[in-house]
Amino acid sequence: MKFRTNAVSSFEIISYYTGYVVLCTALLMTIPIITALVFAEWNAMLDFLISMAIATLVGIALAGIGWRTKQNRANIQWKHGFVIAALSWFVLMILCAIPYCLSGHISSMLDACFDVMSGFTTTGLVLTQDLDHLSTALNMWRHMLTFIGGQGMVVLALTIMIRETSGAYRLYVGEAKDIELVPNVKGTTRIIWRISMIYLAVGTAALWIDGLIIGLKPVSAFLHALFMFESAWSTGGFAPMTQNIMYYHSLSFETITMIIFILGSFNFGLHYAIWQGKRKELVKNIETQSFFITSFIACMLTVYGLSRANVYPDTVSAFRRIVYNVISAHTTTGFGTVYARQFALEWGDFGILIMVIVMLIGGSACSTAGGFKGLRVGIVFKGLIMDIKKLLCSERSRKAYKFHHIKDQLLDDSVVKSSSLIIICYMVLFGIGTMIGTFYGYPLSSSAFEAASVTGNVGLSIGITSPAMPAVMKIYYIIAMYMGRLEFLSVFALIGYVAGGIKKLCVKSLKFSS
């Protein structure tokens, strides 16, 4: 056994693990390469071979820099986990943008990075042009990215990783999935994958059969089924065609995707509990309760409001155009059954406002959905009730308040506080996004809609997102999607780490010069 006397620096640890994640992603590029081969799409195949080569080289370089981490089996800490999650997403954003750039469907590197970040964060806003003529390989890649982004890049690396678990837990939490299903983290990630794979099989089959029924040819029906499943389950919102889900003109197709994306927006811990036999959890859990209540109220209000303005003629239309979009927004999926501009032109401010609210509330924690998360909304709401009760109650009685999330948990001030703080962070992110939109001349309701879509990783657009959008807005949206998905902690850690490093450098150079 070899021992090194000097400890492995944080920098090296971070570099090594980031490199590892990059290498795993490079390996994933074999899937689009095989797709391109099968469909004889030569340009696409070369695009991905080049990208895979570049990613491999970058991954080896990063892992090489941090090589001592592996040699010394260095201990990975919480702070590393957060920084690795944040850094790897950033590095991967650039590497995964390469095939887009090479395809010719994208106007600039910035646009490509936007689409990649949109995929990773399961947002679903699109800057890629001419989707209808995209290669099958690139479509495979786009939808894969959202499916895997939903599962978390790091969880992916963890599943393949053959190391001890203590380090693994810290990487995992950095990815904003803090539910502990089983004590063994590797076991947890395997379970997350298992659940997703089973749904992948069931969901794709259902959509494939429906696709055949509605008139698609067998091979294309399969591809559409696969892509739409990946997009729905991950609550992404990408689709292989320009018209998004409107391409299919089918109530059945829409309904199946709706069921998939509602389930996809649920907490993985919830799926695990239900699949273990605790089926009552579906209705007892604070998140599902919160979601059912808020989405129900939102649908009813919007249907009622729009019916007064006679926007849609009958019940089926109201269900397909209003309910579908409200729930798509609430689960932060982003499949749209109306054209973007129709939200602005036909829904009116009341409809837009409700959409903004549900997009911000979002789905469940520890899921593929975005937004504040129903858990926090439920906790803050119950916290408010708790405070009111405390006021009214006599001072001598001491009551413990709780909420039910997988198991009964204590509703104390610290839980309420941390939930409120994160909600405030989201509101700030949303507020700045809205301000920037209005600064560039977009109307307030539209700016708010787009900013909510970005902050909550939704993907519905009111028409602002386009290649012609100002670069500043594209950059801000990328940052907002990124922060929203990683739930701030990772990004703050990364910023803090980089700032700390710069500070050290400055201090060193000052010492040197004096």
For the bound state, the minimum distance from the C-beta of residue 79 to another protein, rounded and expressed in Å, comes to 24
Which run of H or E residues covers position 38?
helix 30-38
Residue (222 or 488) nearer to another protein, CB: 222
Q: What is the dihedral of CA 325, 327, 332, 338, to 10 degrees?
A: -10
**Residues 6 or more apart in contact with residue 206 via CB below 8 angstroms:** 225, 256
Cα separation of 418 and 424, whole Å? 10
């209003």: which residue's tokens?
Answer: 322
Alpha-carbon distance 476 to 109, whole Å? 15
Q: Scanning residues 251 to 310, which ones bind another protein (CB under 8 A)?
A: 251, 255, 258-259, 262-263, 266, 271, 274-277, 279, 282-283, 292, 296, 299-300, 303-304, 307
CB of 139 to another protein, least distance (A): 9
CB of 405 to another protein, least distance (A): 17
Question: Which residues inside 330-349 make contact with another protein, applying CB under 8 A?
Answer: 337-339, 341-342, 345-346
Distance CA(87)–CA(463), nearest Å, equals 31
Q: Which is nearer to another protein, 52 or 144 (CB)?
A: 52
Q: Contacting another protein (CB under 8 A), which of 57, 160, 309, 384?
A: 57
Quote the CA–CA distance of 324 and 317 in Å, as a whole number: 10
Residue 52 is encoded by which pair of tokens?
């895979």
- Tokens describing residue 321: 């155009």
Torsions phi, psi for 326 (to 5 deg):
-65, -45
Closest to another protein by CB, 343 vs 482, is 343
* Contacts of another protein in 128-147 (CB under 8 A): 132-136
Residues 464-503 that bind another protein (CB under 8 A): none
What CA–CA distance (Å, rounded) separates 21 from 29? Answer: 13
Which of 11, 31, 34, 60 forms a contact with another protein (CB under 8 A)? Answer: 60
User: Which phi and psi angles does 409 have, rounded to 5°?
Assistant: -130, 155
- Number of residues that make up the chain: 514
Sign of the C-alpha dihedral computed for residues 252, 253, 254 and 256 taken in this order: positive
Task: Tell me which residues in 206-235 interact with another protein (CB under 8 A).
Answer: 214-217, 220
Pick the closest to residue 248 from 263, 235, 232 (CA basis). 232
Contact set for another protein, span 366-385 (CB under 8 A): none
* Number of CB atoms found within 10 A of residue 417's CB: 13
Q: Which is nearer to another protein, 339 or 401 (CB)?
A: 339
Question: CB of 397: closest distance to another protein in angstroms?
Answer: 38
CB of 341 to another protein, least distance (A): 5
Binding of residue 46 to another protein (CB under 8 A): yes
Tokens representing 205 are 């089959």
Residues 7-36 that bind another protein (CB under 8 A): 23
307/438 with CB nearer another protein = 307
Name the residue nearer to another protein (CB basis): 341 or 417.
341
**Stretch of 231-239, 314-322, 428-436, 445-453 contacting another protein, by CB under 8 A:** 314-322
Closest distance to another protein from the beta carbon of 77 (Å): 20
> Per-residue contact track with another protein, 91 to 130, x per CB under 8 A?
-----------x----------------------------
Buried b (16+ CB within 10 A) or exposed e, 200-213: beebbebbbebbee
- The C-alpha atoms of residue 326 and residue 140 are separated, in whole angstroms, by 27
Decide whether 139 or 453 has the Cβ nearer to another protein. 139
Least distance in Å: CB of 330 to another protein?
A: 12
Nearest to 239, CA basis, from 352, 331, 151, 128:
128
Contact 235, 369 (CB under 8 A): yes
Measured CA to CA, the distance from residue 87 to residue 254 in angstroms comes to 36
Instruction: Return the number of the residue (308 or 390) whose C-beta is nearest another protein.
Output: 308
**Nearest approach, Cβ of 140 to another protein (angstroms)?**
12
Count of residues engaged in binding another protein, rule: CB under 8 A: 86
The answer to whether 4 contacts another protein (rule: CB under 8 A) is: no
Centre a 10 Å sphere on the Cβ of residue 62 and count the other Cβ atoms it contains: 22
Nearer to another protein, 61 or 499 (CB): 61
Task: Give least dist CB 87 to another protein, A.
Answer: 20
Q: x-or-dash pattern for another protein, window 157-186, by CB under 8 A?
A: -----x------------------------
The answer to whether 434 and 447 are in contact (CB under 8 A) is yes
Work out which of 3, 313, 392, 514 binds another protein, going by CB under 8 A.
313
